[in-house]
Structure 1
Amino acid sequence: MRPLAAPVVGLERSLHSVVSPRSCGTVDSAEPRGRCQPGSGAVRGRVLESDLARPPRLPKRPFVEKQTSWEKILEHLKSRIDERDFDSWFRDTRQRTETADAIYVQVRTPLFVTFISETFAVQIAEAARLAGFARKEIRFGSDGDVEATVSPQRSPAEPKRRSGTLNPAYTFENFVTGESNRLAHAAALRVADLGTRQYNPLFVCGKTGLGKTHLMQAIGHRRLSKRPGDKVLYLTSEAFVNEVVLGVRFNRMETVRQRLRACDLLLLDDVQFVVGKEASENELFHTFNALYDADKQIVFSSDVPPREIQGLTDRLKSRFEGGLIVDIQPPEFETRVAILRRKAEAQSVTLDDEVAFFLAAKIKTSVRQLEGYLNRVVTYSELTREPISLELARESLKDVLRAEEHTATPAEIVKAVASHFGLKPAELRSRTKKEQIVFPRQVAMYVLKETTNLSLPEIGRLFSDKHHTTALHSIRKIAALREEDPEVDRLVSGFVAQYR
C-alpha cells in the first residue's frame, strides 16, 4: 500500500494551490516558497473567512469632464454643416454660462456673431432641439457688446433666405409718393417689373431718412412677387464688407463670389461706405462686371451722387454713372401730411388735420423723424388715455421741440471740437491712429453721444465708418478720464453744455 502515498500528497498540494488565492510558494504567488506574509489570508492550505468576505477590488475609472450644453449641441451640428464651415466658425467657440432659458456662447469677433446667427440659424436650431435644448435660446457674443440670438422654438424657415433681410413693411403699397420722390418711384417700379440695361444700374441717392432703403426693398418684394424663381439679394454696405473680410480671412472667397454672382437682382444699400476698403472695392468691381455681363439687375443707394463720393475710384464711378441716377429730396409739406396719415392708418389711429399739419410743419427734412414724432404722440395718448389733439401733440413734443431749437448738427459739433484742437474735421474723420488725432476724435464721439440722439453705429459711421464698438470704447475712455483729470472734465463739460 505504500507506493500510493506519493500521488495523494501531490493531489493535496495541487488542491491547495487552487483553493487559496494567495497561497505561499505557488506559481501564482509573488511570495517566496514556504513563507507567508501577515494578512495574506492564507495559512498553508486554508482559506480564511475574512478573505471570502472581502469584496474584490475594482479598477479606478479615469476622470471624464462633463460636457457643456453647447458641446452637446456641437456634436449634432457637425453632421449638419460642411466640415470646413464647422472648423472656420465653430471650432473655437465655447460656452460662457447657462441660465434656465438661455445658453451663452463666446465667439471670436463681432463679425462672427452676426455671420453665425444669420447663416447657420436653421442648423443651430435643429441641433439644439436634437440635443434636448428646444426651450433654450442660444445667445452668441464676443468680447464687445455685440450679441445675437438663435431660438430653436422659432427658427427661420429656409426659403426666407431667398429675399435676404427684406422688411415686409417696405413695399410699394406702403410708399407715399410726391414731387420729391416721383421719378425715383417710377424708375424703381420699372426695374422691379422689367429690368432693363437702360436702368442698369439704378442708382438712388438722397439724404438719410428719406426712404431710399424702403424703395430698394420694395423693388425686391415686387420682383419676387412677379418672378418667384428669381434670386434677390439685399445687402447693406456693412454686410457686404463683412462677407469679403471673412471670405479673405478664411480662404472662402470663392463661396462669397458664387453667392454674390448667382443672384438675379442685387440691392446694395449705402454703397458709399464701401469706398476706401480696397478688397471690398475690388470685389464689388468684379461682381458688377459679372452681373452686368449676365444681364442681371443691380441697384445701389447712397447719400450723394457717384461724382460726390469722396475717394471713389474712376472705374467704379464710371459704372455707377452708366445707368440711371435718381435722387430723393426732402418731402414737401403735402407729402409729409400724406405720410403721416398713411402711418397713422397703419396703426389704426385717427389723426385730425390740425395735428397732421402741426407735425408736418415741425419736421421738414426726414421721413424717419416724422414717423418717430408721430409714434411719440400716439404713445403719449395711450398712456394718458386721452384722444389725440393739437394740445396733446404740443404737450407730448414740448421737450423734443424745445431741445431741437438749440441742437447743433453732428457736423457742427465735429467742426467745433476739431477747431479747438487746431485740426480740420477731415482729420478727425480720417483713419489715422496718431495720438494728436485719436484723443480729439474720442472727445468728439463722447460729445456727440451726450448731445445728440445718434446711435453708436451712426457715430461710428461719421468717422470713416468705424465699428460701433470703437465708438463705445472712445466714449468709455473719455468718461473715465473726466473722473481722473479735472482739465479733461472741464473741457468736455464745456462742449456738452454748449450743445446740449
Structure 2
Amino acid sequence: MIMNRTCHSVWMNCLQIIKDNVPAQSFKTWFEPIKALKLEGNVLTIQVPSVFFYEWLEEHYVSLLRKTIKHQLGTGGRLEYNIVMERASERGKGHTINVPTNSNGELRNHPVAMPVTLGADIKNPFVIPGLKKLNIDPQLNSKYSFDNFVEGDCNRLARSAGFAVAAKPGGTSFNPLFIYGGAGMGKTHLAQAIGSSVKTSYADKMVLYVQAEKFGQQFVDSLKNNTINDFVNFYQLIDVLIMDDVQFFSGKEKMQDIFFTIFNHLHTSGKQIIMTCDKAPKDLVGLEERLLSRFKWGLSADLQVPDLDTRIAVLNMKMRADGITLPHEVIEYVAHNIDNNIRELEGALISLLAHSTLNRKEIDLPLAKQMLKNFIKHSSKEISMESIQKLVCEYFEIPMEMVKSKTRKREIVQARQISMYLAKNHTKASLKTIGQFYGGRDHSTVIYACQTVEDLIDTDKKFKNWVQDIQKKLKMS
C-alpha cells in the first residue's frame, strides 16, 4: 500500500492528524512551512526552514510526530529531516543539509551562529508628515543589535524569528512578527536589532521604529492640522514598520481604525510589520477583534524570564562591553538573586560599579552583598538540580553518584528520568544544561526521559504517586 503513495500524500495525511492535535497558531507556525521531499520505503524525508525550527519540533512535537508517522507508515516508519540554512553572507542562497541519526534513531544537531552587522548611527528624531523617503530617520538606536542580544531558552524562538525577518523582510510567514513579554525582557532591543540588520542588508528599504504613544500623538496632531491623509500616506510608504508597545492602542477606537488601515496596506503590499507588546494577543483587552485577528496572522513570540545561564551571560557581555572585570562569584551572586528581568540585572551591575568607583574599593562578594541589599528580594529558596537529585536519591535510597553514571539498571534509569523531568519542570535550566548535569547527556535524552515519565504518570498509578510525593517534598524543602 505504501509503495503507491507519494511523500506529499503521506505528509498531507500526517498534517490532517497533527492539525487536530495542536492549536491553530502552532500549526500555522511550525507545520505549514514544512515540505515533503521524498518517501523511500518506510522513511519519509521532510524539509524544515532552519536548525532552530528542527530543534523546536524535536523538543515540543517529537512524540506527536512519532505517533503520526507510525500511524501512516507502520511500526517501522521513520522521519528524517533536511534543513535549509540561509547564511548572513549568502542571503537568498539555500543550503540544504541532511540531519544524521544515531544508532537509536535520535536526531542530533547544534544551534547555528548567525552574525549580524551593526546599523548606522542614530540621527535626530524624525518629523511626520512631510519628509521625503530618502530623508527618513529610522529612529534606531545603534546600541541595540543581534550581537549584544544574548540568546537563551527564554528568547530563542523570538530571536530566531527575528533573524529570519531581518534576512527576508516581508518574505517569511512571520508577518506580522508580534513580540511580547514583561517589562525589561528585551522587546525593544530585539525589535530594533531587526531594524538595524535590515538597514545594513537592504540600504534602499525604508525602516521606521516608532512607539505606539508617539504614533498616537502624531495622529492627534494630524487631525488638528487637517493632514490625516498625509499621515496615512507617509506610513504606507514604510517597508519595515516597527511599532513598540501596541497595548497603548487599547480603548482608542479612532487610532485603531487608522492603524488597521495602515496595517492592511503594508501587509497586502508585502511590507514587514513588527510589533511589541506587554501581553500576548489573546490577553489584550480594549482592542477591536478585527485588529487582534491580524496580530495573530504571523508569529507571536514571547520573551520569558531569563534563566540563570542567560543572566550570567548578560552580565559577562555587559562587562566586556564596558571593559571591566568582576570576580565570578560576584557575577553568580548577582545573577542568582536578581531574576526578574534584564533591565534590573543591568541596573544592579551599574549600581555595583558606581559604588566601586566612588568608594575606590575592589568588589568582592561580601561588599557586593552589602551594596545590592536594596536590589535583592529575599524570597523562598530556588529549587536547583542538586536539590532535586538529592531528594530523588534519598526517596529511592540509591547513592547520588549513581544517577549520573552510565549504568542501565532499571531503578537507576528510573530515578535519573524522574530527576530530569523534575529539573525541566521546576528549574529554569535548559535541556542542554540538564543533560550535561546528569552525566554529560544530550538534550534529546532529556526529551526522551521527560516523555517516558509523562507516559508512566498516565498509565502507572504507583509511579504517578511516587512523582507526586517527590514533588510535594521538593516544594516543602
AA aligned opposite 1:280: M
1:315 equivalent to 2:290? Answer: yes
1:396 equivalent to 2:371? Answer: yes
User: Could you say which residue in structure 1 is the equivalent of 2:148?
Assistant: 174
- Cα separation, partners in 2 of 1:119 and 1:165, compared to 1, 3 Å: closer
Match of 1:247 among 211, 219, 222: 222
Partner-residue secondary structure (3-state), 1:174? coil
After superposition, give the CA deviation of every residue in 1:396-448 in whole Å (9 maximum; x if it has no partner). 222443xx459xxxxxxxxxxxxxxxxxxxxxxxxxxxxxxxxxxxxxxxxxx
Match of 1:191 among 165, 169, 173: 165
Aligned residues: 253
AA aligned opposite 1:185: R
Q: Give the whole-Å Cα distance in 2 for the aligned partners of 1:386 and 1:266.
A: 47
1:338 equivalent to 2:313? Answer: yes
Match of 2:177 among 202, 214, 220: 202
Q: What is the TM-score with the length of structure 2 in the denominator?
A: 0.51
- Cα separation, partners in 2 of 1:388 and 1:162, compared to 1, 3 Å: farther
Q: Give the whole-Å Cα distance in 2 for the aligned partners of 1:370 and 1:382.
A: 19
Partner-residue secondary structure (3-state), 1:381? helix
> Gapped runs of 5+ residues in structure 1?
1-116, 124-157, 407-500
* Mapping 1:270-289, distance limit 5 Å: 270-289=245-264
Q: Give the whole-Å Cα distance in 1 for the aligned partners of 2:259 and 2:321.
A: 38
Match of 1:373 among 331, 348, 368: 348
Match of 1:326 among 301, 321, 345: 301
> Gapped runs of 5+ residues in structure 2?
1-123, 380-477
User: Could you say which residue in structure 2 is the equivalent of 1:234?
Assistant: 209
User: Could you say which residue in structure 2 is the equivalent of 1:433?
Assistant: none
- Cα separation, partners in 2 of 1:120 and 1:283, compared to 1, 3 Å: closer
User: Could you say which residue in structure 2 is the equivalent of 1:264?
Assistant: 239
Partner-residue secondary structure (3-state), 2:173? helix
Q: What is the TM-score with the length of structure 1 in the denominator?
A: 0.49
Q: Give the whole-Å Cα distance in 1 for the aligned partners of 2:349 and 2:133.
A: 35
Match of 1:356 among 331, 335, 352: 331
- Cα separation, partners in 2 of 1:161 and 1:174, compared to 1, 3 Å: farther
- Tell me by how many angstroms 1:198 deviates: 0.8
Partner-residue secondary structure (3-state), 1:198? coil
Higher alpha-carbon Rg:
1
Contact (CA 8 Å) 2:125, 2:137: kept in 1 or not?
Answer: no
- Tell me by how many angstroms 1:321 deviates: 0.4
AA aligned opposite 2:173: Q
After superposition, give the CA deviation of every residue in 1:148-207 in whole Å (9 maximum; x if it has no partner). xxxxxxxxxx99963432111100001000001001000001001112241110111111
Partner-residue secondary structure (3-state), 1:284? helix
* Mapping 1:4-403, distance limit 5 Å: 118-119=125-126, 162-195=136-169, 196-401=171-376
Q: Give the whole-Å Cα distance in 1 for the aligned partners of 2:364 and 2:211.
A: 39
Contact (CA 8 Å) 2:239, 2:271: kept in 1 or not?
Answer: yes
Q: Give the whole-Å Cα distance in 1 for the aligned partners of 2:180 and 2:127.
A: 33
Contact (CA 8 Å) 1:333, 1:361: kept in 2 or not?
Answer: yes
AA aligned opposite 1:360: A
Contact (CA 8 Å) 1:237, 1:270: kept in 2 or not?
Answer: yes
Greater relative CO, 1 or 2 (CA 8 Å, sep 6+): 2
Q: CA RMSD in A?
A: 2.2
